[in-house]
């Protein structure tokens, strides 16, 4: 009886260890088998800890490496059987979603929109982002009532997004700015516009630090804005070369 019990104990221990490892193995296999393809996610242009204490490193890691990567992985899955969605610029596809096959249209809308929004998001943030000046500041003063009013209106709009979505400052080719919100992963690109800057108000963007305190996140986020990058985006918009 003693030896049988020991054998049972060894078997039970081995089974538990295998069971505990199974989720990790399944995740590794799923990652290895994720569709590769024409859509890529760029690495962050700064360390994940660079925006602390305003956005914590773990949030940045999960947001970029898991959430954004999922959109890219899904897009590559769609492109495997529908290569035409990768043959044109993302901006053209999003501005003409009616041309995307109906069977994948919603998936492309959500995932390509998420890819475009997040690509912009990483680019317009950074440590030591400075302050707006020059043409950007002049446009903010002219169209949005100055920085103080912009921040108050932007934060209020972001706070009123129901559920998940984004708040944007859009820019036209003549440099005119406007404020708008979008649900889910919709983007101004879908209406032929461009985002000068935007903030993600999905809970995954802030919940580890701020929990349900979205207004605190919106207020703190301004400390992460890279105004040099935004000035470059503004110049590109006026030149007609701004992409996502």
232: CATH: 3.55.40.20
Tens-digit pLDDT profile for residues 32-84: 344 589 999 999 999 999 999 999 999 999 999 999 999 999 999 999 999 99
pLDDT of residue 118 exceeding 70: yes
Instruction: Give pLDDT, residue 35.
Output: 52
What's the token pair of residue 168? Answer: 């944007």
In a domain, 243, yes or no: yes
In a domain, 70, yes or no: yes
Residue 195 DSSP symbol: E
Would you say residue 35 lies in a domain? Answer: no
Q: For residues 79 and 201, give the distance between their C-alpha atoms in angstroms, rounded to a whole number.
A: 28
Backbone angles phi, psi at 81, to 5 degrees: -105, -10
> What per-residue confidence (pLDDT) applies to 76?
98
Across the chain, the runs of DSSP E, i.e. the strands, are: 165-171, 177-183, 194-200
Q: What is the DSSP letter of 34?
A: S
CB 61 within 8 A of CB 49: no
For the chain, how far is it from start to end, CA to CA, in angstroms? Answer: 70
Instruction: Say if residue 24's pLDDT is above 50.
Output: no
Q: What is the mean pLDDT of the chain?
A: 89
Q: Is residue 40 part of a domain?
A: no
Does residue 13 lie in a domain region? no
83 in Cβ contact with 160 (< 8 Å): no
Q: Give the bridge partners for 125, in sequence order.
A: 225
Region of 211 please: left (phi>0), alpha (psi -120 to 50) or beta.
Answer: left
**Within-domain flag for 108:** yes
Residue 48 lies in a domain: no
Which range marks the domain in which residue 181 is found?
56-244
pLDDT per residue over 140-191, tens digit each?
999 999 999 999 999 999 999 999 999 999 999 999 999 999 999 999 999 9
- Strand duo 165-171 + 194-200: pairing: antiparallel
Inform me whether the pLDDT recorded for 17 exceeds 60: no
Q: Is residue 34 part of a domain?
A: no
242: left (phi over 0), alpha (psi -120 to 50) or beta: beta
Give the total number of structural domains in the chain. 1
């Amino acid at each position: 009886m003693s030896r049988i019990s020991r054998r049972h104990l060894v078997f039970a221990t081995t089974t538990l260890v295998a069971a505990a490892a199974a989720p990790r193995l399944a995740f590794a296999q799923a990652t290895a088998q994720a569709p590769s393809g024409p859509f890529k996610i760029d690495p962050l242009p700064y360390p994940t800890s660079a925006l602390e204490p305003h956005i914590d490193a773990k949030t940045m890691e999960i947001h970029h490496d898991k959430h954004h990567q999922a959109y890219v992985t899904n897009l590559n899955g769609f492109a495997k059987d529908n290569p035409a969605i990768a043959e044109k610029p993302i901006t053209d596809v999003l501005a003409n979603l009616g041309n995307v096959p109906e069977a994948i249209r919603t998936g492309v809308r959500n995932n390509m929109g998420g890819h475009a929004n997040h690509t912009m998001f990483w680019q317009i943030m950074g440590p030591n982002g400075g302050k707006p000046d020059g043409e950007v500041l002049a446009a903010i003063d002219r169209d949005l009532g100055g920085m103080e009013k912009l921040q108050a209106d932007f934060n209020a709009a972001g706070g009123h997004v129901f559920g998940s979505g984004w708040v944007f400052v859009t820019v036209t080719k003549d440099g005119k700015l406007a404020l708008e919100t979008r649900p889910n992963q919709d983007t101004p690109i879908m209406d032929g516009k461009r985002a000068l800057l935007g903030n993600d108000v999905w809970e995954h963007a802030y919940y580890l630090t701020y929990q349900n305190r979205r207004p605190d996140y919106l207020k703190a986020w301004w400390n992460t804005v890279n105004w040099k990058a935004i000035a470059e985006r503004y110049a590109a918009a006026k030149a007609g070369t701004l992409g996502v």
